Amino acid sequence: MSNLQPLVVYSSGPAPNPFKVAFVLEELGLPWKFESLPMPDLKKEPYTNLNPNGRVPTLVDPNKGGMTVWESGAIVDYLIEEYDKDAKLHYTTPKEKSNTRSWQYFQVSGQGPYFGQLGWFTNHHTEKLPSAIERYTNEVKRVIGVIDGHLAKNGTDYLVGDKVSYADLMFIPYFKSVGKGPLTLMAKDVDTSQWVHYTAWMNRLHERAAVAKIAKIYDDIWVKILAEKH
């Protein structure tokens, strides 16, 4: 794929959703780059001409006439359909294909929004609301428990079948932001190691060269942000 121009992923600092796309791009071996914008610029032109919702990520593919796709799930679908011709990150059999899509939808509807709300009420809301923090912390535990229980039953090391899929990769950024650790900013009193199948799965994913590379970019952004706060 050396003849391809870099695909552009619009991001903003450590926002998790663009990194879901980055993990998939890197695993597929595609050339790509981040175009990071300040948060205020996301809500005005020219960015809203690309993404009317004014959020990240947005993908622009110069290899397809400047094709523009927004929303992380839609972007991942596009990348799989257009560039995963060898089915490295997806399945072609109906059962496995549907199961992978189910986990993808669970991530975008059941993990991302709740984890995002916990981040808001923990770090940005004007007043501390213990009931809101408790509610969304419980959702973090529930989602981890769902993953952990499924992995225990599946017994193949991954969410679907016996190989990593785009669904596995999409869960990584938000999971990196919770639990005990120097770079987590929410649910810091939750010891995620109690979910042994989940922990082994996350460790297994981070052993992959592509995942480790993108994870380091993500971590380095947080290291810089936290250093500036002190």
Q: Is residue 29 pLDDT above 70, yes or no? A: yes
Of the candidates 84, 109, 140, which is a domain's last residue? 84
Q: CA-CA distance, 205 to 208, in Å (whole number)?
A: 6
In this structure, the number of other CB atoms found within 10 A of the CB of residue 56 comes to 25
Q: What is the pLDDT of residue 15?
A: 93
* Residue-wise pLDDT tens digits, 46-74: 999 999 999 999 999 999 999 999 999 99
Look at 186 and 201; give whichever has higher pLDDT: 201
Q: What is the pLDDT of residue 161?
A: 96
Containing domain of residue 76, as a range? 7-84
Query: Total domain count for the chain?
Result: 2
Same domain for 215 and 128: yes
Q: CA-CA distance, 87 to 80, in Å (whole number)?
A: 8
Q: Is residue 2 pLDDT above 70, yes or no? A: no
* Residue-wise pLDDT tens digits, 127-184: 888 899 899 999 999 999 999 999 999 999 999 999 999 999 999 999 998 887 776 7
The residue among 153, 145, 174 whose CA lies nearest residue 99 is 153
* Residue-wise pLDDT tens digits, 80-90: 999 999 999 99
> Tell me, what CATH number does 153's domain have?
1.20.1050.10
Confidence of residue 3 (pLDDT cuts 50, 70, 90): very high
Same domain for 207 and 114: yes
Percentage of the chain with pLDDT > 90?
80
Q: What is the pLDDT of residue 230?
A: 61
| Residues in CB range of 67: below 8 A, 6 or more apart | 59, 60, 61, 78
Q: Is residue 1 pLDDT above 70, yes or no? A: no
Same domain for 79 and 110: no
| Residues in CB range of 42: below 8 A, 6 or more apart | 12, 48, 51, 54, 55, 56
* Residue-wise pLDDT tens digits, 146-160: 999 999 999 999 999
> Tell me, what CATH number does 46's domain have?
3.40.30.10
Confidence of residue 185 (pLDDT cuts 50, 70, 90): confident
